[in-house]
Amino acid sequence: MKQSGNILFSGVGGQGILLASELTAYAQLAAGFDVKKSEVHGMAQRGGSVVAHLKYGEKVYSPLIEPGTADIQVAFEELEAARYLPYLHKDSAVVVNTQKILPPAVATGKASYPENILDELRNRGINVVALDAFAVAGEIGELRTANVVMVGAMSNFLSVTPQIFLDVIDRKVKEQFREVNKKAFQAGRDLVNA
Amino acid sequence: MTLKKKETLWLSGNEAIALGAWEAGVQVASGYPGTPSTEIMENLSTYPDVYTEWAPNEKVGLEVAIGASFAGVRALATMKHVGMNVAADPLFTASYTGGRGGLVVLTADDPEMHSSQNEQDNRNYAFAAKLPMLEPSDPAEAKEMLLRAFEMSEEFDTPVLFRITTRIAHVKGVVEKHERVATAAPSIEKMPGKFVMLPALARVRRAEIEKRMIALREHAEIFEVNRVEDGELSRGFITSGTSYNYIKEAFPDAAVIKLGMVWPLPERKIRDFAEKVDELIIVEELDPFLETHIKAMGISCRGKDLIPSQGELNSFIVRKSIDPDSVGPLFEPLELPMRPPNMCAGCPHRGLFYCLSRMKDVFVSGDIGCYTLGFLPPLSAMDSCVCMGASVTIAHGMAKALGKEGEGKVVAVLGDSTFIHSGITGLVNSVYNDSYATVIIADNRTTAMTGHQPNPASGCNIKGEAAHAINFEELCRAVGIKRITVVNPHDIEATRKVLKEEIATTETSVVISQAPCVLLPEEVRRKKPVYFTNTENCTGCTACIRLGCPAISWNPITPEEAARRGYKEKQKGYSMINEVQCNGCGQCAVLCKFDAITLKEGS
């Protein structure tokens, strides 16, 4: 059982990274770890590339993941899975939502969206788990739970038990959304064999 | 002593500081929003028995806090690093007056400029204003240290500076909750020798400051926030703030002085430590502040010859700077299209800046806010941005320099909150000194960039209670502006016409570009029309693409596909609206001359 670790969350402002990283952090706290999380607000949030650093262990000092030491990356968009490559190492696992959100230069036809971007990661030995979180969330009946589907998939790589995550959802999510979020977590969890 | 189980919370630095302020018995707090400080006041406003407010700017906020201190209660002023420049005037003289109730002035610095126009190191203010400064390393310490700051303020009759950085403010960590201390009863007490800073009295206080600094230096030697951590002596570190965390990870076995009080410095403690270690290295973000003052003590050390003085540090940078061979190779970053921040779909600023982007020979003097994003392509319609309120005055200065040559070519743009912050005095100057530069107030009813804090024009206060809303037209008229036009920036044709006329006039004029931010809760709740693309009508003219709306994308096509779709052979692509993202502002529909963008039926 791993006693410390680093999880990087990346995506585009507004994709629900905050909730995903909060649920993960609360699960690690409930499992008895010290947890620090770092994020950036303000101008950086307006539809730009966003990243949150989560570190857990017996005692965590730095709130920032050191480049080359992210054990897990949860990426909500393909380009944003590849952008933080220097943070990864060859044994990292990247759980990525197969969504493409066009950056401004691509949307305006000034650049093209790179093809087969996830192969760039696979070619370096990184374990890439690609899933269509929106499709899964759609089957559950609530598109907004895509971020929790991602957390469920990622949880396979952690020692924290699924029950702890489900308890966190009970504590932290509003009552009317609890059941659907638990379903989303379980669906994500069942997608991956880590 | 009864042992109670301590309640632990998981809070951001800013949430922890708000809790700390409440526990420390703060009764009055004032500030102006600014990343990364904003959430302190937002959170504190939710606690009972503490008055909180958004001030129009940081100078006002600090003066309010000084007033509360003069009335005998603990008071807090919060600001981002550049806000301290605005508040510097009262700050330097509050150093002379001291107060009655504890007074803490919090500065949130932004190394790396995540959301700022510069990365000044506000530790220099402690030296310049002759004030003590505390600096925590994480949320838990920030909360505990804030109580120490108030105690110190009262014990030494001094405002205390409290410095955090982005990696304290927006880091979440485990924090212990405590009881609130007993609060002081406010009262009026006349203390002219302390509070009336005219020359004869200020000279007396000036001498008191020197005595205070001597006492504070002694206090620094025994103050528990300045901690020596034993370890290997071959290499010793002196550090503070978040840099301490990086040392603990990069060199966990080394001896360290962790300074919680970064001014004044504990000279004896530092000297003793320096004598014990073989090599002394100062690790700090930004300026060589500690290093310079330690070297001035005649102590030899290393610092900025190793550690970068620009941007944030992390454990990797610290390790690599000191032991370059200890870090392995990293994966090289891939070349990817950048994803800079962008105005939201349906943002009213987009319509305004689209019109300005069509006026190529006009110099757009910009300002600080979401609308600064008007600089980015494809709009590329901002030509300067210096500091809060500077749009108006820089435009005026350019107009005076350019004379007749610049007529019809200079315009200032600033937001409602920025106008109130420090644009009004500039406008007074423009009228008084007869400027032809047009001032555009991009009024979206809120302080949007920092997360929608109400301002004096929003109609409510920090708690959401009804408050007077400034009427910009009346205000501008009172200042002496005769030409005032209000325009809806979503109506691009009307906006373009108004801008043309007003920029051309040689009289000082104001255009109020008025439409609410699409992210305001009432706007998010409002059912909005949705536009969609009749792709068969799209000619690929890219008029809509030039808006740079995140809901509109360009789909390139081959000549074969153009033929298959029934387009002209040379058509290179077509536009598509993402209907989920569309906020129904209609700007693109106005620009499309081919009926390719229309309202979705039933919306």
pLDDT in tens, B24-61: 999 999 999 999 999 999 999 999 999 999 999 999 99
Distance CA B25, CA B210 (A): 29
Helical H runs in B99-242?
A: 123-129, 139-155, 166-169, 192-195, 199-222
* Cβ under 8 Å to A: B residues 298-357: 312, 314-316, 327-328, 330-334, 336-344
Same domain, B26 and B154: yes
Query: Strands, DSSP E only, in B182-278?
Result: 227-229, 232-240, 254-259, 261-263
Helix axis angle for B315-322 and B243-250, nearest 10°, is 60
Which residues of chain A lie closer than 8 angstroms to B321, CB-CB?
none
ipTM of the complex: 0.96
Substitution target from B172, B253, B339 for chain A, most A beta carbons within 10 A: B339
Interface contact A63-B244, CB threshold 8 A: no
Same domain, B34 and B54: yes
Give domain status of residue B334, yes or no. Answer: no
Same domain, B516 and B537: no
Residues A36, B115: C-beta atoms closer than 8 Å: no
Beta bridge partners of B466: B460
**Which of A48, A86, A102 lies nearest to residue B330, judging by beta carbons?**
A86
Structural domain boundaries enclosing B440: 348-524
> Considering CB atoms only, which of B39, B333, B340 is closest to A85?
B333
Question: Is B489 within 8 Å of B590 (Cβ atoms)?
Answer: no
Q: Are B248 and B358 within one domain?
A: no
A-proximal residues of B, 493-512, CB under 8 Å? none
Instruction: Indicate whether B369 belongs to any domain.
Output: yes
pLDDT at B330: 96
Q: Within this chain, do residues B33 and B169 fall inside the same structural domain, yes or no? A: yes
* Domain end position, chosen among B220, B253, B274: B220
pLDDT at A14: 79
- B330 to A111: CB separation less than 8 angstroms, yes or no: no
CATH number for B533 = 3.30.70.20
Pair B236, B255: CB distance under 8 Å: yes
**Encoded amino acid at B270, one letter:** I
DSSP assignment letter at B371: G
Nearest to B170 among A39, A60, A114 (CB): A39
Decide: B32 and B56 in contact? Cβ < 8 Å.
yes
Alpha-carbon span B341 to B335, nearest angstrom:
18
CATH code, domain with A27: 3.40.920.10
Closest to A41 (Cβ–Cβ): which among B36, B334, B337?
B36
Tell whether B157 and B101 lie within a shared domain.
Answer: yes
Characterize the bridge pairing of strands A70-75 and A5-12. parallel
Say how many domains are in chain A.
1
Other Cβ atoms less than 10 A from the Cβ of B193: the count is 12
Six token digits for residue B449: 């960039």
**Average pLDDT, rounded, for chain B:** 96
Same domain, B518 and B531: no
Q: Are B584 and A138 in contact (CB under 8 A)?
A: no
CA distance B6 to chain A (A): 16
The two structure tokens encoding residue A13: 């402002």
Residue B102: pLDDT over 50 = yes
Inter-chain contact B556–A38, Cβ cutoff 8 Å? no
Whether the predicted pLDDT of B206 surpasses 60: yes
Instruction: Flag whether B1 is in a domain.
Output: no
Residues B105 and B237 in one domain: no
Q: What is the mean pLDDT of residues B87-106?
A: 98
**pLDDT for B32:** 98
Nearest to B338 among A89, A103, A124 (CB): A103
Residues of B in contact with A67 (CB under 8 A): 314, 316, 330
Q: Are B433 and B484 in a shared domain?
A: yes
Q: Which of B326, B359, B376 is the last residue of a domain?
A: B326
Burial tier of A8 (Cβ tally within 10 Å: 0-12, 13-18, 19+): buried
Q: Are residues B168 and B264 in the same domain?
A: no
User: Residue A115 class from Cβ within 10 Å (0-12 exposed, 13-18 middle, 19+ buried)?
Assistant: exposed
User: Pairing mode, if any, of strands A49-57 and A34-38?
Assistant: antiparallel
Interface test with A, best of B258, B312, B331 (most A CBs within 10 A): B331
CA nearest A123: which of A76, A80, A163, A90?
A: A90
Is residue B72 domain-resident?
A: yes
Q: Do A25 and B333 touch (CB under 8 A)?
A: no
pLDDT of residue A94: 98
Residue B341 lies in a domain: no
Residues of B in contact with A64 (CB under 8 A): 167, 312, 314-315
Q: Do A43 and B449 touch (CB under 8 A)?
A: yes
- Residue of B82, B243, B336 to mutate, testing the A interface (most A Cβ within 10 Å of its Cβ): B336
Chain B positions in Cβ-Cβ contact with residue A79 (cut-off 8 Å) = 336-337, 339
> What total number of domains does chain B contain?
4
> Most A CBs within 10 Å: which of B10, B172, B581, as the mutation test of the A interface?
B172
Is B174 within 8 Å of A35 when comparing Cβ atoms? yes
Do B198 and B244 fall within a single domain?
no
Query: Angle CA(B475)–CA(B478)–CA(B484) in degrees, nearest 5?
Result: 65
Put residue A118 in one of left, alpha, beta given phi > 0 → left and psi -120 to 50 → alpha: alpha
Of A194, A154, A59, A124, the residue nearest B138 (C-alpha):
A59
pLDDT at B603: 65
Model pTM?
Answer: 0.96
Over range B243-267, report the average pLDDT.
Answer: 98
Tokens found for residue B277: 């270690």
Q: Which residues contact B449 (CB under 8 A, 6 or more apart)?
A: A42, A43, A46, B35, B115, B368, B369, B370
d(CA B397, CA A130): 56
Domain boundary among B492, B524, B556: B524
Query: Which of A8-22, A173-187, B69-83, B253-267 has the weakest average pLDDT?
Result: A8-22
> Which tokens is B284 given?
């700090």
Q: What is the pLDDT of residues B153-175, one digit of tens each?
A: 999 999 999 999 999 999 999 99
Rounded to 10 degrees, the C-alpha dihedral A138/A140/A142/A146 comes to: -70
* In the predicted structure, residue B151 carries a pLDDT above the cut 90: yes
Given a contact cutoff of 8 angstroms between Cβ atoms, the answer to whether B266 and B226 are in contact is yes
Does any domain span residue B338?
no
CATH code, domain carrying B425: 3.40.50.970
Which residues form the domain of A54? 5-191
**Local confidence band at A16 (pLDDT 50, 70, 90 cut-offs):** confident
CB contact under 8 A, B331 and A68: yes
